[in-house]
Amino acid sequence: MNLIKNLKVGSRLFAAFGLLLALLGVVGVIGIMNMSKINDMADAMYLNEVEGMSHIKDANINLIYIGRARGNYLLATSEEERRQAKENIDRFMKDFDTYVEKAKPLFFSDEAKRLFNVIAQEEKGYDNAMQKALSLAANEPLTQRSEELTQAL
């Protein structure tokens, strides 16, 4: 303590600023090292969660396509239209399964795993109901449209 009191004010200020600069340097180095960790974590988050969400989004889009194809099947005016709609339904259901399978390994939480199990259970019921509805619709007469409605569509 005596040593500090014996120094001139200028020397004390210079020593204090030097100590402050050294502390700022240490904080800066630690910050730069931790920025690398943050960047690595952001990359991992993108690769897992954002990509997984993108696959789930694509699966959801395929559900919309399935509904549209089902409507086209029910409104078909020819066996060819029905066949094409059925092919579309099968393709979109396969694509739905593909996207869900791509997304599964990218989610790690227990809640996500539970939701994937719910999807699997619901999909079985949905597929069975879809096949039953299509079988019943196949026995129904084809839809009749006027030439004017066909042109409007």
Determine the average pLDDT of the residues in 63-71: 95
| Rounded-to-10 torsion of CA 121, 127, 130, 134 | -160
- Distance, in Å, from the CA atom of 75 to the CA atom of 135, rounded to the nearest integer, reads 14
- Distance, in Å, from the CA atom of 43 to the CA atom of 39, rounded to the nearest integer, reads 6
pLDDT digits (tens, 9 = 90+) for 94-149: 999 999 999 999 888 899 999 999 999 999 999 999 999 999 888 888 877 777 76
Strands (E), the chain: none
Q: What is the pTM of this model?
A: 0.69
CB atoms within 10 A of CB 73: 21
Q: For the chain, report the end-to-end CA distance as a whole number of angstroms.
A: 93
pLDDT digits (tens, 9 = 90+) for 25-66: 999 999 998 998 899 888 887 877 788 899 999 999 999 999
Strands (E), 13-153: none
